[in-house]
A and B are shown apart, each in its own frame.
Chain A
Amino acid sequence: MVIEPPGEGSPPVVEMRRVTKAFGAVRALEDGSVRLVAGEAHALLGENGAGKSTLVKILAGVHPPDDGEVLVDGVPVRFAGPAAAQAAGVSIIYQEPTLFPDLTVAENIFIGRQPLRRGRRIDEAAMNARAVELFTRLGVAIDPRRPARGLSVADQQIVEIAKAIAFRARVFVMDEPTAALSSAEVNRLFDVVRTLRADGAAVLFISHRLEEVFAICQQVTVMRDGRFVRTDPIGDLTVDQIIRSMVGRDLSALYPKTVTEPGEPVLEVRGLGRLGAFRDVSFTVRAGEIVALAGLVGAGRSEVARAIFGIDRSDAGTVTIGGRRLRPGSPQAAMAAGIGFVPEDRRQQGLVMDLAIDRNVALASLGRLRRFGLIRRSAETALAADWAGRLRLKAGRLTDPAWTLSGGNQQKVVLGKWLARRPALLIIDEPTRGIDVGTKTEVHRLLDELVSQGVAVLMISSELPEVLGMADRVLVLHEGRLAAELSRADADEASIMRAATGQNVGTAA
């Protein structure tokens, strides 16, 4: 295929013009605009909550836009569903691909359009041969006849890309494809992207890692708070300009951080291990400091937190709280010892969504609210009202169910639930995932206040700016092992990513 020189002359394969989308009262996207040209890799940048995922879902045909236009080859279209978007040549490669674990790799690629032989029967030999052909073109070797179950995330993405090619896709949308990949896998993916470009495909590449964007993309579109900010050729922009466009405000305002002198050790973890998840993890968290657990998805961060809190049983090592050894595998014991746990998945694990807000707040403190073994409703209400005020909760009534709240306010309820117990140690997994930028800052300010009151915080976060902005120390996990421990002064994006991808094991002090 001929590579057309991108420029004013070549019409975009896909274009979105001032697309808007609201979910109930939440305006997720107010101005989504992007032009994708054949043969170009186009970066879509923005913080979490900037509206990138909504834009992608509209492009994928998952959500219909409320307003604005989506054009394919210059013609306005309205996708009835994912199948329609696919038929128009738009394929989405999600960060965690959704394959069929029970089907073979080749079937995953050709599902619904398997090559046929006489009598409309599936031609398995041809199907496998074509899968091999696709993989050869992409420069990878995956056995088409093995089941998809057990493939690494990187290989799953390659299978998704092969599937998209088999569907004759012309637009490949990659939603944070590199988040869970090792550097070698990232390089392999980039080779694949170059092959796609050379074949005349348009690629929309979403990533938080700017160095990757500079390595692979020709155009950059920046979004902020659901709005289009700018589109420029990558050569015209510097890293600083991009970051300023994305953030639109001073970083220190986003991450209020009072550096305090840490006190006595609160949590001591020694040689903690759990088969198949992590091993030999040792660290200390002192009163009045935030220690961040960083690492790639699947490095074992959440697993370590769950083992400390006793949700999962560790099979090696010890956890000590305030000098006393904690019984493993018992969340009750962990709570009694003064640990609070704010899980990653608010909706599933942090809140009872159908239960009233005040009851959710009181849920972890019921022991204190009892009289003669019965829970006092008035005490529940008083406790919740007190915390709602302190957390500046934006809620209708405290008796409304928790699902009526926005993501940020839900997170405040979970925080309130644990803070009501006055914990010595708060473990918080992804404190601001899926929370809008304004509320994010409030959650960060809360954490900062807690720490200044002498609470020890163990924070797990995938957002490097959050880690760098809030943490006093950073522990980096790589494949279930502690790869580095960095002080606030030493930690930067590069040092954390190096350790997280297993490149500088040994620099830990």
Chain B
Amino acid sequence: MTAVGPAPAPAPAPASGAATEAPRRMLERVSRARELGIVAAIVIVFLVTTGKNSAFAHGESVQQLLAGTCLIALLGAGETLVIVTRNVDLSVGSVLGLSAYVVGDLFAHHQEMPQVAAYGVGIGIGLVCGAVNGLVTTVFRVPSLVVTLAALYVVRGIDALIVNGKQVDPASIPHGFQELGSAAVFHIPWLAVFVAVIIGVIGYAMRSFRPARDLYAIGSNPDAAALAGIPTGRRVFTAFLISGGLAGLGGVLFLSEFATVASTAGSGYEFLVIAAVVVGGVAIFGGSGTVLGAALGALLLNTINQALVAAQVSAFWNQAIAGFLLLAAIAFDRFLALRVNRALRSAERGAS
């Protein structure tokens, strides 16, 4: 055997600040690029579609676009919290449906019910569902995929039992209550403003509070999180609780927006929500992602959806394109992760 190359110099001083500056900047650029990339995609789709059909940029159309995004973005905020912890909540659509019908039915029987009570009942239903999901997942250690899949069917079943073939119709919903869901200022629905405020608050909290950072830690490395003394069970439970609560709120907003609720309300939402969250850059295996990204993901999917309608493309393409986008988003994440990993490793090598 022959001698191998010159001896590498023994590693000198540890990594210098300057040498590790580069990968960090790159990472920041990348994570911001993700959100900017989605914004760019939204703008491109919007402009292209407007070029083909100028009605797309009209106020009513934009209003419709934003209104259609609101519920998915709201549910996406809760879903982000759950997915960041390396779990998933598949029950959000069913919870929304149940909440919407129960609140609607209450209005039908008690026209004079204060609006606050409507919100309280809706959110309450969501919190109960979220609590059950969270408890079974954390106490009995059943994978959340299974728990919330079961919840999806159970909650939908309860909903169907209560609805019993009837439906809530607009006539029984007080006009004042429908105001939030239908009114707009300068073609920006109040609903969108309301949801944007909620997302803003959650987004800020996710950056700035210890328990929120714990969620990222849990998703990033569950074993290490437990070793670091993080109450992982309590935190994951809270994430499910919030996701459930937001889905319950979503039901109330659904009612105020559509005022018509059948037993199928919100069915299939869970996949739209997860698609939006993943397209928005939340890692499906936890540890990273923002609620803002998830909201932008929802807006992008809905923009494409509406654009295809405006371009009179068949609804089949609509779903297929959403699927392709999802694949592209995941492939892009994987690609980025590999690139970033390599950059970080080589920076480490170069520095040490």
**Could you tell me which A residues sit within 8 Å of B by CB distance?**
81-83, 86-87, 98-103, 107, 111-114, 116, 120-122, 140-143, 145-147, 149-152, 154-155, 158, 182-185, 188, 280, 282-283, 479, 481-483, 485, 502-509
Contacts and interface: CB of A to CB of B under 8 A. Distances in A.
Given A98-B224, A112-B229, A507-B3, 11 more contacts: A102-B219, A103-B216, A103-B217, A120-B209, A146-B20, A146-B24, A151-B348, A152-B352, A183-B10, A502-B8, A505-B5
B345 A485 contact: no
Contact of A149 (B13, B209, B219, B340): B340
Given A111-B217, A508-B2, A83 B229 contact: yes
B227 A150 contact: no
Contacts of A182: 10-11
A122 B7 contact: no
B209 A98 contact: no
B222 to A, nearest CB: 10
Contacts of A87: 229
A99 B224 contact: yes
B7 A149 contact: no
A150 B1 contact: no
6 shortest interchain CB distances as A-B pairs: A150-B344, A83-B229, A102-B287, A98-B224, A143-B20, A100-B220
Nearest to A119: B208
A230 B8 CA distance: 41
8 contacts: A102-B216, A112-B228, A142-B20, A146-B20, A150-B347, A154-B352, A283-B1, A483-B4
Interface string B147-176: 000000000000000000000000000000
B310 interface: no
Q: What range describes how many residues of B lie at the interface?
A: 35 or more
Contact of A143 (B13, B17, B288, B341): B17
Interface string B41-53: 0000000000000
Nearest to A163: B228
Contact of A121 (B209, B341, B343): B209
A101 B220 CA distance: 6
A168 B11 CA distance: 30
B208 A100 contact: no
B5 A100 contact: no
B3 A508 contact: yes
Interface string B183-213: 0000000000000000000000001111001
Contact of B341 (A99, A114, A122, A149): A149
Given A121-B209, A150-B348, A151-B348, A98 B227 contact: yes
A487 B27 CA distance: 48
Contacts of A101: 220-221, 287
A298 to B, nearest CB: 12
A509 B2 CA distance: 6
A154 B345 CA distance: 13
A155 B15 contact: yes
A479 B10 CA distance: 13
B35 interface: no
Given A82-B226, A101-B287, A283-B1, A111 B344 contact: no
The interface residues of chain A, by DSSP majority, are classed as loop
Interface of B: 1-8, 10-17, 20-21, 23-24, 27, 207-210, 213-214, 216-217, 219-221, 223-230, 283, 287-288, 340-341, 343-345, 347-348, 352
A461 B343 CA distance: 31
A103 B7 contact: no
B210 A103 contact: no
Nearest to A280: B4
Nearest to B337: A149
B14 A102 contact: no
Q: Of A81, A83, A107, A143, which is in contact with the most chain B CB atoms at under 10 Å from its CB? A: A143
A492 to B, nearest CB: 19
Contacts of B11: 182, 184-185
B14 A142 contact: yes
Q: Of B214, B221, B227, which is in contact with the most chain A CB atoms at under 10 Å from its CB? A: B227
Given A100-B220, A506-B3, A146 B344 contact: yes
Nearest to A501: B10
Contacts of B12: 184
A107 B213 contact: yes
B221 A99 contact: yes
A112 B230 contact: yes
A122 B15 contact: no
B14 A146 contact: no
A505 B7 contact: yes
Contacts of B23: 146, 150
A158 B7 CA distance: 26
A181 to B, nearest CB: 10
A340 B214 CA distance: 45
Contacts of B226: 82
B21 A143 contact: yes
A142 B15 contact: yes
Contacts of A145: 24
Contacts of B224: 98-100
Given A503-B7, A508-B1, A86 B340 contact: no
Contacts of A102: 216, 219-220, 283, 287-288
A184 B351 CA distance: 13
Given A99-B224, A103-B216, A122 B209 contact: yes
Contacts of B220: 100-103
A83 B15 CA distance: 31
Contact of B228 (A111, A147, A502): A111
Contacts of A282: 1
B1 A482 contact: yes
A111 B3 contact: no
A149 B344 contact: yes
Nearest to A158: B14
Contacts of A100: 216-217, 220-221, 224-225, 287
Contacts of B15: 140-143, 155
Contacts of A485: 1
Q: Of B1, B13, B209, B216, which is in contact with the most chain A CB atoms at under 10 Å from its CB? A: B1
Nearest to A121: B208
Q: Of A116, A151, A158, which is in contact with the most chain B CB atoms at under 10 Å from its CB? A: A151
B221 A98 contact: yes
A102 to B, nearest CB: 4
Contacts of B229: 81-83, 86-87, 112
A259 B220 CA distance: 50
B10 A141 contact: no
Contacts of B343: 150
A122 B27 CA distance: 21
Contacts of A506: 3-4, 7
A502 B24 contact: no
Q: Of A112, A183, A282, A506, which is in contact with the most chain B CB atoms at under 10 Å from its CB? A: A112
Nearest to B227: A82
B150 to A, nearest CB: 26
Contacts of A185: 11, 352
Contact of A114 (B4, B14, B20, B213): B213
A173 B262 CA distance: 61
